[in-house]
């Protein structure tokens, strides 16, 4: 008797039914990119104790190495043994811009005034010189 062939998915579902497992529930993996462009992924919510996997270019996954990893959004995730040990949200860096003590505009205005004074002095001397010839 010829039985119809099962697709791989149908075969897995039948095995799951035999084992009383529900393979219909597909786990949703979350992923993100590190600041250097490396893809990482994890199952469920990103929290302490969550396992993080690094996804290689060929698609292979390996546990994240022990380190502090910076995500593209600036979040720092520290892992030990492939598990998250701490999460530090992106820090808002306050940048304080100091105004130069020697205000550039004031310097230019002062220099301009000095030049105007010298021009007026030169003009006065020239008028005195020409007055001699009148």
> How do residues 9-54 score in pLDDT, each as one tens digit?
777 777 766 665 444 444 578 889 999 999 999 988 889 999 999 9
pTM of the model: 0.49
pLDDT tens sequence across 68-94: 999 998 899 999 998 999 999 887 665
Distance in angstroms (rounded) separating the CA atoms of residues 122 and 128 = 10
Does residue 123 register a pLDDT over 80? Answer: yes
Contacts of 27 (CB under 8 A, 6+ apart): 43, 44
């Amino acid at each position: 008797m010829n039985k119809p062939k099962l697709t791989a998915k149908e075969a897995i579902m039948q095995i799951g039914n035999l084992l009383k497992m529900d393979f219909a529930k597909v786990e949703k993996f979350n992923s993100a990119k590190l600041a250097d462009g490396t893809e990482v992924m994890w199952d469920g919510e990103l929290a302490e104790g969550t396992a993080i996997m690094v996804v290689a270019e060929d698609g292979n996954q390996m546990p994240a190495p022990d380190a502090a990893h910076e995500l593209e959004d600036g979040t720092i995730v520290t892992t030990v043994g492939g598990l998250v040990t701490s999460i530090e949200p992106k820090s808002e860096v306050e940048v304080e811009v100091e105004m130069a003590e020697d205000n550039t505009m004031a310097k230019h205005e002062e220099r301009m005034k000095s030049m105007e004074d010298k021009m007026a002095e030169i003009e006065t001397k020239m008028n005195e010189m020409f007055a001699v010839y009148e």
